[in-house]
Structure 1
Amino acid sequence: MLKLCISRCVIILCILAVCAQQTFGQQEKQSSLTLDEITVTANKRKENIQEVPVAVTTLTETDLEDAGVLGVGDVIDFVPNMTFKTSFNAGVFETNFRGLRLSQFTGKNPVVIFIDGIAQDTDVNYGSDIFNVERVEVLRGSQGTLYGKNAIGGVINIISKKPGNTFESKITAETAEYGTYRFSAYSNGPVVKDRLFFGLSGTYYETDGYMDNDDPAGGTFDGQERSRFQSRLRWLPTDRLEMNFHAGISQKKYDSNNTIDASTGEVSYHASKNPDDFCETDSFDSALNIGYETDSFDVTSITSYSHSSIDMSQDQRYVNMAMTMPVASRDAYTDIFSQELRIQSPENKEGIKWIGGLYYTTEKSDWDKCGMIYQTKAMLGYDTFYNWADKLDDQVVAGFGEVTFPLPGRFAFTVGLRYERTHKEMDYRYEVVRADTMELLPADPFGSANPVLVTYNIDDDWDALLPKGVLSWTVNKNAMIYASVSQGYLAGGFNWSGHVKEEAKFDEQTSVDYELGAKTSWFDNRLILNANLFYMDIKDIHVYYAPDAVTYITSNAGEAHSTGAEIELRALPVHGLDIRAALGIVQAEYDEYINTSNNDCSGNMLEGTPDYTLNLAVQYRFDSGLYLKAGMQAYGAYYFNDANTISQKSVEIYNAKIGYERDGWDLYLYVDNMFDEEYFSYGRESASGITGNVGQPQTFGILASLRF
């Protein structure tokens, strides 16, 4: 099946390339027809994307609008070998890239989001909405040298539009099936010409959801309501000094989740869920970016602060109706402060290019509630709460530098190094209490030998040197070849649900990443074809298991590796026709790993990792204003568990869009999952059973925008 799927993907790409070549050959006279040059800041300086020796997927403002991108998950659909999933708990998000996935007890995703310099890598604040954005850059592969902050898999840079001297505003309204509505608006412009500018944007989204609730209360159980407001102030006191202040607030409300019992492997759009399930997250984020240019160097300071909270209650009875299942409860908040100061060579400087800097961040989390509530009221007169009321404190200090040396024969060599020291401390508190009064119980009502109160304090340090080396060769103005090796790193941490202090710590996860890539443009830049091969040697990969229905423990598997290829194609064969494709192929498996059931999983595939991803989109803009688009998103088969006994088959999802565009307004009709494919978008195995998240069924919608 895998070979068939890969062959199908390669055939599609080859057909596109051949058709494009024939069309290009017939259109040689249209020399003015070229793809726009894209400037990125992947290496923290402005560069043409085709000249950056890093695998980068970029979506411009037009790309985001054409694709109907609402959030990070929609962006990831375009990135080869990267997937995005809502976890088994509503409001918690996971990214999988080349086999790397969420580290359960650090709460860190392997791909870090930066919104105008604000790092967002936790499982709660990861689901960011996207609007009023200039572009999104996705750097694939370890980016620890320049970015640190657990970027073992990559970085997603979201760059908001910079307001200038021109007033611009846009309002968008959308409605779709399942009671879905979205409203977005932004306005950018000058306060004082040439000196002071503002940007304001807001979004609101709600949906009833598509999962029917079999509970007597009826209705659906996967509804959502999200809102975000963001402001930006840009000040140019002098021609050399620029200051940007960003602030945003967001609120997200979820019912239950689109998760069902998946033990039979059958997809169903209904289940019995507690109608009182909810998850609410609130966040505030801010950043001050100051840049100063001199003739010899540029200085940048980025200061950020964010606060996020989560309040959740999720009944787990649907997982296994034959067992006494608890209600997951969580009430916690996190504060993060960071400061980065860097100095680098001027962007227009020829010859040696360099950058160096210092970084500091502190992250404090306070969990008033985090645990499982068992419904024992009929037996005891009250429900029993197994609560981990922990406090966590993380601090990271780092220094980094990178230098690019031009070499004879159009070669260049980049060398970089980052030293990072992480200090973590946990005040551990486990208690068995009455759920209504939080009164400590004298004994575990289920007769367990475990104590009803455990407290201790633990702290430790992790040190890392993260080197990077890249050799690139500019063959000519249309082609570059590069080879790189870099160190990936994700600090260790503490299990917040383990009673034994001496067993609480787990080690860091590391990788050595090797990559060989090529970036090419053809036919006067009307066809861009980039490709790369990669191999990741992973040590002490973070895994977790559930010894019982209320406890999850992180540990380190021995070794794993991930190898594969990625291809991205962008073509503009004729005026108005745009073709885009991205193919990822990956084989990620454990080399040495015996799980807690004493099963030897060596040679098994890493769970949650599709063996291929494919995104294909073809769109045409007519001079009359008519707009047509067809697209396909495909995922290969993947396993729900490390034993590789439960799997999701490969799936292909087709979408279509038709619209009419004028100077001041647009109107579109669209259908997602056109052929109503039934599939699980996420699955996992735990001590209580096998669960899966049901993918969105066929959905029709309409979208209108007004620009002025």
Structure 2
Amino acid sequence: MQRFKSAWGYCLLCIVGGMVWGSYGFAQDDQSELIQLEAITVTAEKQEEEVQKVPSAITVFTETALEDAGLNEIGDVIRQVPNMTFGETFLGKSPIFRGLRASQFTSKTPVVMYVDGIPFDNSYNFYADLSNIERIEVLRGAQGALYGRNSIGGIINVISKKPDNSVDAKITAEYAENETYMTKAYANGPIIKDRLFAGLSGSWSQTEGFMDNTYPGEDTFDDNESWGAKAHFSWLPTERTTVAFHADANHLSNDNGSIIRSDEVRYYDIRDPDDKAETDAANLAMNVTHEWDSIEFHSVSTFGESEYQYRQNINYYAAADKWIGFFDTKITLFTQEFRFQSKDADGGIKWLGGVFYSNENEDIIESSSIMNSLATIGYNTKGSRNGELVSDAMSIFGQTTIPLAYRIKLTAGLRYEHINKDLDIDYVKTRVDTGALLASSNLALEDDWAAFLPKGTLSWNIRENTMVYFGVSKGYLPGGLNAQASDKDTAKFDEQTSIDYEIGAKTQWLDNRLTINVAMFYMDIEDMHVYSMPAPSVWVASNAGSATSRGIEVEARARPLKGLDITAQFGWIDAEYDEYEGYEGNKTQGTPEYTINLAAQYRHASGLFGRAEMQGNGETYYNDGNTDSQDSFEVYNLKIGYEASRWDLYFYCKNILDEEYFSYGRSCGIGTLKEVGDPRTFGVVASVNF
């Protein structure tokens, strides 16, 4: 509790300090427009609008903000958002937001990420290449009316730079402790002036990691390597038509990650050197836009294919002999959206409407376990599942914003969605030594779900730089079919829903040198997706009765002096189970009591740059029983450098106080897997602009 009070005090101090310094700057500088905060335009609600005018909680990261903070991975970005955190194990990766976490047996994340229109909502391929990025928009809260299923917690829009007639190119290289290397580059420019443009980018990184492997002859077990390539083409066949094409490919290899089973942080453990966790993916998207005088038409077509493989020797995690797990799944996803919307409303009525279709095929090539049963029955056994899960979704949606009296606006949206799922899984159990068949079965099941997803928001522009709003929306995560189930009776689980209430304010002060946005929320969650493991390698999916989540989120930006920027994000949350047998009143798993991010940076006209920041989380429970937790902690980072017209050079130190902490944890059948946070790390970054 004392740390919570301290964190709240830090946040208030930053905001108040920004206001005081902003007042000083306003009084002393005759050219106040030179130090105003830049206006940021977003497409959060599928129409361009200045972020301070959108009646919704939105966090935006520009290209400059990403580079200044050194945010190279989507998980780094997520941890900068109030009440949002991110975790990764060999069971997948997922954001956790406002008490919501990934659904284990649909593999769907509560926050859906779109990269140039390509959706990523599966915990096995939740990844984005952040090179050549224009901005990232994080919409907080249920977004079902516009974005549909699985957006029960929010949306992350990753938007690549749009190439034009100007030539823009950059190469960046980074080196840090633990044999960590990273390089990325991009180039944008015209192929045919005024008609055809291209943007190309690529990235590569690797690290030896910091977790010592005590297995004989091994060094570390959290080493990883990744590479990615991306191309973006923009074609203007007419003055009113734009065709944008996106293609990317990437590879991720992360053998074990810094995952251990321990109550105390340690930087060593023993791991099987044959363990692996790898993802290969390729994605395509085409966005066609045609404009008339007052209407726009959008067609967004996407296709993605990814394969996720892991091999994990669970014996090294558990206190007693368990099993070796193998998993190999290939996911293909096709989506098509057609949308019409109003253009250039100028304070009048805005509207949009469209249809959406998606087809997702999960080919389970292998899902098997070798059980250590030699001591009990005289031989080891292997249980294997393979087959496929096919999901088809159709929806129709619309939204309109209507100006009312006294600068009040009403936004109303509605989406109807229907999803069908078809599961066909073969199960085979054999002896490992002889290969003899011990048992076999087939699980074939089909089901569908449908929902109306409404949204309503009232906003009031009290004055030019002050808006308050109140919104209600429905969140929805379809039910699923558990491919690990042994029979039809336990294979199906129901949809998860929520009713979200949010009241907020967006304000700008001191001649636009200070922005303070506040959002308070209450979520009534029904049938939350949960799971248990009553026996080794037996996974049971089910629904908890209900839960509630309430809290507050504060974001502030200040520019008190030219070159000086101060940012603060603070979130406090109380999320607990109301009905969940044996866990009533307990906090939801993986949700920090609070999150806090403070940063101050100064960019001098001479080229000198300095940045200091603090990130902190409140107490976090890692299991539903609330018996395993991480105490509150803070991590401090520093960065200094020099910026010339054509090149930049920075030195940084992350976790300068060498805080020992777990950055993530999740309960599973072998106990609680915990991700060890990075120790103190020194590094250098250099870049060249062309």
TM-score by length of 2: 0.97
Partner of 1:289: 287
Partner of 2:221: 221
Equivalent position SS for 1:62: helix
Structure 2 unaligned residues grouped into runs of 5+:
none
| Cα distance in structure 2, aligned partners of 1:100 and 1:657 | 33
Partner of 1:447: none
Q: For residues 439-496 of structure 1, what are the alpha-carbon distances to aligned partners after superposition, in whole Å with 9 as ceiling and x for unaligned?
A: 4522xxxxxxxxx322121011100000000000011111111100000000000111
Structure 1 residue 503 and structure 2 residue 490: aligned?
A: yes
Structure 1 residue 421 and structure 2 residue 422: aligned?
A: no
Query: Shift in Å at residue 690 of structure 1?
Result: 2.8
Partner of 1:446: none
Equivalent position SS for 1:268: coil
| Cα distance in structure 2, aligned partners of 1:519 and 1:430 | 55
Structure 1 residue 686 and structure 2 residue 668: aligned?
A: yes
Partner of 2:86: 84
| Cα distance in structure 2, aligned partners of 1:127 and 1:382 | 40
Query: Shift in Å at residue 374 of structure 1?
Result: 2.8
Q: For residues 588-636 of structure 1, what are the alpha-carbon distances to aligned partners after superposition, in whole Å with 9 as ceiling and x for unaligned?
A: 0001110xxxxx2111100100010001110001111010000010000
| Cα distance in structure 1, aligned partners of 2:378 and 2:625 | 41
Question: Is this contact kept in 1: 2:11–2:569, CA < 8 A?
Answer: no
Structure 1 residue 193 and structure 2 residue 173: aligned?
A: no
Equivalent position SS for 1:389: strand
Q: For residues 182-236 of structure 1, what are the alpha-carbon distances to aligned partners after superposition, in whole Å with 9 as ceiling and x for unaligned?
A: 0100000000000000010000010111000011122000010000000011000
- Residue from 434, 437, 440 that aligns with 1:441: 437
| Cα distance in structure 2, aligned partners of 1:687 and 1:361 | 33
Question: Is this contact kept in 1: 2:125–2:308, CA < 8 A?
Answer: no
| Cα distance in structure 2, aligned partners of 1:149 and 1:492 | 10
Equivalent position SS for 1:66: helix
**Mapping for residues 206-285 of structure 1, pairs under 5 Å:** 206-262=206-262, 265-285=263-283
| Cα distance in structure 1, aligned partners of 2:644 and 2:409 | 46
Query: Shift in Å at residue 46 of structure 1?
Result: 0.5
Larger mean CA deviation between 372-381 and 665-674 belongs to 372-381
2:88 aligned partner, one-letter code: T
Query: Shift in Å at residue 682 of structure 1?
Result: 1.5
Q: CA separation of 1:307/1:270 partners in 2, compared to 1, >3 Å: closer, same or farther?
A: same
Q: For residues 30-63 of structure 1, what are the alpha-carbon distances to aligned partners after superposition, in whole Å with 9 as ceiling and x for unaligned?
A: 3222111100001101100000001000011100
Q: CA separation of 1:668/1:383 partners in 2, compared to 1, >3 Å: closer, same or farther?
A: farther
| Cα distance in structure 2, aligned partners of 1:142 and 1:577 | 35
Question: Is this contact kept in 2: 1:78–1:582, CA < 8 A?
Answer: yes
Q: For residues 284-311 of structure 1, what are the alpha-carbon distances to aligned partners after superposition, in whole Å with 9 as ceiling and x for unaligned?
A: 1000000000013110000000000012
Q: For residues 73-121 of structure 1, what are the alpha-carbon distances to aligned partners after superposition, in whole Å with 9 as ceiling and x for unaligned?
A: 11112200000111254xx201100000000000010000000000001
Count matched residues.
688
Query: Shift in Å at residue 20 of structure 1?
Result: 2.9
1:153 aligned partner, one-letter code: G
Partner of 1:75: 77
Partner of 1:625: 607
| Cα distance in structure 2, aligned partners of 1:341 and 1:349 | 24
Structure 1 residue 50 and structure 2 residue 47: aligned?
A: no
Partner of 2:104: 104
| Cα distance in structure 2, aligned partners of 1:12 and 1:373 | 56
TM-score by length of 1: 0.95
Question: Is this contact kept in 1: 2:19–2:558, CA < 8 A?
Answer: no
Query: Shift in Å at residue 332 of structure 1?
Result: 1.4
| Cα distance in structure 1, aligned partners of 2:461 and 2:591 | 34
| Cα distance in structure 2, aligned partners of 1:361 and 1:183 | 35
| Cα distance in structure 2, aligned partners of 1:139 and 1:326 | 41
Q: For residues 670-706 of structure 1, what are the alpha-carbon distances to aligned partners after superposition, in whole Å with 9 as ceiling and x for unaligned?
A: 0111111111112233332233111111111000000
| Cα distance in structure 2, aligned partners of 1:460 and 1:568 | 42
| Cα distance in structure 2, aligned partners of 1:609 and 1:652 | 16
- Residue from 322, 346, 369 that aligns with 1:325: 322
Equivalent position SS for 1:80: coil
Equivalent position SS for 2:547: strand
Q: CA separation of 1:522/1:383 partners in 2, compared to 1, >3 Å: closer, same or farther?
A: same
Question: Is this contact kept in 2: 1:516–1:532, CA < 8 A?
Answer: yes
Query: Shift in Å at residue 574 of structure 1?
Result: 0.5
**Mapping for residues 425-504 of structure 1, pairs under 5 Å:** 425-434=422-431, 439=435, 441-442=437-438, 452-504=439-491
2:318 aligned partner, one-letter code: N
Equivalent position SS for 1:24: helix
Larger mean CA deviation between 194-203 and 127-136 belongs to 127-136
| Cα distance in structure 1, aligned partners of 2:99 and 2:403 | 35
1:49 aligned partner, one-letter code: V
| Cα distance in structure 2, aligned partners of 1:16 and 1:512 | 37
Q: CA separation of 1:348/1:663 partners in 2, compared to 1, >3 Å: closer, same or farther?
A: farther
| Cα distance in structure 2, aligned partners of 1:677 and 1:88 | 25
Equivalent position SS for 2:560: coil
| Cα distance in structure 2, aligned partners of 1:410 and 1:141 | 25
- Residue from 495, 515, 521 that aligns with 1:528: 515
- Residue from 651, 654, 661 that aligns with 2:633: 651
Equivalent position SS for 1:535: strand
Partner of 1:19: 20
Query: Shift in Å at residue 383 of structure 1?
Result: 5.2
1:316 aligned partner, one-letter code: I
Query: Shift in Å at residue 389 of structure 1?
Result: 1.3
| Cα distance in structure 1, aligned partners of 2:20 and 2:380 | 66
| Cα distance in structure 2, aligned partners of 1:456 and 1:315 | 27
Query: Shift in Å at residue 371 of structure 1?
Result: 2.6
Q: Percent identity?
A: 47
Partner of 2:118: 118
1:695 aligned partner, one-letter code: G
Partner of 2:619: 637
Partner of 1:597: none
Partner of 2:66: 64
Partner of 1:41: 43
1:547 aligned partner, one-letter code: P
Q: For residues 505-555 of structure 1, what are the alpha-carbon distances to aligned partners after superposition, in whole Å with 9 as ceiling and x for unaligned?
A: 100000000000100001111111110100000000111111122122221
- Residue from 591, 596, 615 that aligns with 1:614: 596
Partner of 2:361: 364
| Cα distance in structure 2, aligned partners of 1:660 and 1:556 | 54
1:637 aligned partner, one-letter code: E
Question: Is this contact kept in 2: 1:87–1:682, CA < 8 A?
Answer: no
2:562 aligned partner, one-letter code: H
| Cα distance in structure 2, aligned partners of 1:350 and 1:29 | 32
Question: Is this contact kept in 1: 2:347–2:403, CA < 8 A?
Answer: no
Structure 1 unaligned residues grouped into runs of 5+:
443-451, 595-599
Question: Is this contact kept in 2: 1:87–1:94, CA < 8 A?
Answer: no
Equivalent position SS for 2:135: strand
| Cα distance in structure 1, aligned partners of 2:495 and 2:141 | 18
Partner of 1:445: none
**Mapping for residues 127-146 of structure 1, pairs under 5 Å:** 127-146=127-146
2:260 aligned partner, one-letter code: I
Q: For residues 535-586 of structure 1, what are the alpha-carbon distances to aligned partners after superposition, in whole Å with 9 as ceiling and x for unaligned?
A: 0000001111111221222210001000000000011110010101100000
Question: Is this contact kept in 2: 1:27–1:574, CA < 8 A?
Answer: no
Partner of 2:332: 335
Partner of 2:534: 547
1:170 aligned partner, one-letter code: K
Structure 1 residue 406 and structure 2 residue 403: aligned?
A: yes
Question: Is this contact kept in 2: 1:24–1:523, CA < 8 A?
Answer: no
| Cα distance in structure 1, aligned partners of 2:12 and 2:567 | 15
| Cα distance in structure 1, aligned partners of 2:119 and 2:351 | 23
1:87 aligned partner, one-letter code: T
Partner of 1:449: none
